[in-house]
Structure 1
Amino acid sequence: MAKCVACHKPLMLHVEPDEEDEDEPTGGSASANTGSYVDDDVQLQCGCHFHWQCLLDSYSMSECPNCGRNLITHTPSGEQQLLCNLKNEGGLQEGLDMLPLLTEESYLKAYPEERRCRAFLEFCGEGDVEAIVDLLNDNDEEEDGGHPDQGTGPNIDALRYQDHIGSMGSGLHVAIQNQRVEVAWLLLILASTLKMDQFPAEVLQAAHDLGIQREDQGEKTDIRSLKDSQGMTAEQRAAAIAGPWREWLQSGRLKPPAS
C-alpha cells in the first residue's frame, strides 16, 4: 500500500466520532465511539502520494516537494493548472486542478488573518446565510487566546472584504454572481445605507429571527460602492447577469449612493 511520502504513514485520515455518537451506548463494543478512517490520498502527476495536510504544509507552488518535478501544465487556452488524483471521503476525483486551492492556501500562509474573510466569501457564494451570521457574530478567537489563524484580525471588516487573489469582488459581488438572493438581502441590511422601508417584510422578519440588525454605518463604505478588479460595482455585475436581478436593477436598490 502506498504511503504519504512526507510522513510515511498510511493514506488515511482518522475522523473523530460526533459528540452524539459518543453519548450513545455501544452495546459492549468499544469500537463504536472510537471514530473511523477515511481515504486521504493526493496523488500528484509525478507519482508521489501525500496526505492533503502534508501537501499543504510543504507545497512550493510548482514543484513536487518530494521529488522536485515541475507539476504545472497548461490548459488548451493557455491557463496554468496542476492536476492530481484526489481520493477522500467523497470518492475518487481524477484530473482535479488543485492550483486554485493551493494558491489560496499559500496566500493564507502569508496572511492568516484573512482566513475567516475567505470563509465569508465562500459562504456568500454557497448561499449559507446561517453560516455567514455565525461567522460575523463570532468574536475573534485570537483575542481570547485562540489560534491566531482563525480570526479576521482586528483591522479587517469581513463584510467589506474583497478577494485579493481573485477578482477583487466583495461578498455582494459573489452573491450576485452565484444568484444568492437571500445573501444579497443580508448584505444590504448589514453593510449598506439602503433605507429600511425598501426591504420586503419577509426579509426583515427573517433578519429579526436571526438576530440581525443594522449598526450605525457612520463613515463605513457602502458595500454597493465597492468595485472589483475590472472596476465594476455589484450593480454592474447584476446588469450583466440579469435573471433574478432584473427587479433589483429596476428598483435601484443596488445603485451605489451618490458620493
Structure 2
Amino acid sequence: MAACVSCQQPLVLEVGSDDEEEDVQGQASSSGKAPATEPETVPDDVDLNCGCHFHWTCLLEAYQVTECPNCGKNIASNAADSTLQILCNLNNEGGYQENLDILPLLTEEGYLKAYPEERKCRAFLEFCREGDFKAIVAMLQDDEDDEEEEGVEEDGLQHRKIGPEELLRYQDAIGEMQSGLHAAVQGGSREVAWLLLLLASKLDLQEFPAIIFQEAASLGVMRPDMEGKSDIRSLKDANGKTADDLAREIGGVWNGWPGSGRLSV
C-alpha cells in the first residue's frame, strides 16, 4: 500500500466510536488479554497531479499554495474561466473523486490556520444559514460568558477572543463578506433573520412578531443597548449588496420584505 510522503504512514484513517473503544478496552481488562479486533479504517489519500500522495491533514500542515510541499512541482492549473485550481484524485470515506479542485478547501483551511478564532464565527454563519435558532443563541451565550477573557491558549499561541457583539456583526473574509443576516436570507430562515434583527439592529420593536419575543425570552436573550453600535442591516457583502438586496433577488419566503425596512436601514 502506498504511504503518505509526509509522515510515511499508510494512506488510511482509523475510525470508530468512543463507545466501541471503551467496550473493547473493558473486555481486555476483564480478560487480561489484548483486544483481538483490528481498528476499522477508511481511505485517506490525496493524490496530487505531481504524483505525490498525502493524508489530508498532512497536506494541510505542509501546504504551500501552488507547489507540492514534497517535490516542489507546480500543482496549480487554470480552469475554463481562467481562475486558478488545484486538481487531485481524492479517495476518502466519501468515496473516490477524480479531478477534484481542492483549492477552495486549502484556501479556507490556510486562512483559518492563520486566524483560528474565526472558526467559531464561520460556524455561527452556518447556523444562520441552516436556520438553527437555538444553536445561534447557545453560541452567543457561550461567548458572553467568556467575554472577559482576552484570548485562548492553543498550541502555545494566544488567539484573539471574539465577543457576542462582534460575532453578530462578523463578515466572512473568505465567503464574499457575508454577515449572519445575509446567511439567514440566503438560507430562507425568517425566524433567524428576526432573531438577528432583534439582537443587532435598531428596527422598531413593534415590527416584531410576538412569537419571536416569546422564543427569545424562553432562551434568555433580549435586545442590548444599541447606542453607538452598528446596525446589522447596513452591512454589505463583497458585491456591495445588503441583506435587503439579497432578499429581493431570492424572492419566495422574502416576498414583502424588500423595501419594507425590515432588512434595510
Instruction: Decide: shared fold, TM above 0.5.
Output: yes
Distance 1:203 1:42 in 2: 46
The answer to whether the aligner puts 1:175 opposite 2:184 as a matched pair is yes
Q: With structure 2 as the length reference, what TM-score do the two structures score? A: 0.81
How far has the Cα of 1:150 moved from its partner?
10
Within 2, Cα distance between the matches of 1:243 and 1:31? 57
Q: Distance in 1 between matches of 2:203 and 2:160?
A: 26
After TM superposition, the structure 1 stretch with the greater mean CA deviation from structure 2, 75-84 or 203-212, is 203-212
Q: Are 1:41 and 2:45 matched, yes or no?
A: yes
- Give the match for residue 115 of structure 1: 119
Partner secondary structure for residue 63 of structure 1 = coil
1:185 and 2:194 aligned: yes
Structure 2 distance, partners of 1:88, 1:198, is: 49
- Aligned match of 1:208: 217
Asked if residue 223 in structure 1 is aligned to residue 232 in structure 2, the reply is yes
2: CA distance, partners of 1:200 / 1:65: 55
Report the Cα distance in structure 2 between the residues aligned to 1:198 and 1:159, rounded to whole angstroms: 20
How far apart are 1:24 and its partner, in Å? Answer: 6.0
1:153 partner amino acid: K
Gaps of 5+ in 1: none
1:106–1:22 Cα change, 3 Å = closer
The partner residue of 2:161 within 149, 153, 157 is 153
Offset at residue 16 of structure 1 (A): 5.5
TM-score by length of 1: 0.83
Counterparts of 2:35 and 2:77, CA distance in 1: 45
Separation (CA, whole Å) in 1 of partners of 2:141 and 2:39: 31
Counterparts of 2:215 and 2:35, CA distance in 1: 43
Whether the aligned pair in 1 keeps the contact of 2:4 and 2:53 (CA below 8 Å) is yes
Q: Provide, for residues 117-153 of structure 1, a one-character-per-residue CA deviation record: whole Å limited to 9, x for no partner.
A: 2222233233333333333222459758652789662
Identity %, equivalent residues: 55
**2:4 paired residue number:** 4
Structure 1 contact 116–152 (Cα < 8 Å) conserved? no
Residues 132, 49 of structure 1: alpha-carbon distance in 2 compared, 3 angstrom cutoff: farther
Q: Which runs of 5+ in 2 are unaligned?
A: 29-33
CA–CA separation in structure 1 for the residues paired with 2:37 and 2:208: 48
RMSD over equivalenced CA pairs, Å: 3.2
Question: Contact 1:17–1:36 (CA<8 Å) still a contact in 2?
Answer: no
Q: 1:99 aligns with which of 103, 110, 113?
A: 103
1:35 Cα deviation after fit: 6.6
Match of 2:31 in 1: none
Shift of 1:34: 9.2
> Could you tell me how far 1:231 is from its partner in structure 2?
2.1
Q: Aligned letter for 2:7?
A: C
Determine the C-alpha separation between the residues in 2 that align with 1:164 and 1:188.
22
Which segment drifts farther, 115-124 or 206-215?
A: 206-215
C-alpha contact 2:5 2:52 (8 A) present in aligned 1:
yes
Q: What CA distance in whole angstroms lies between the structure 2 residues aligned with 1:14 and 1:114? A: 28
CA distance in 2, matches of 1:125, 1:32: 45
- Alpha-carbon distance between aligned partners in 2 of 1:211 and 1:16, rounded to the nearest angstrom: 37
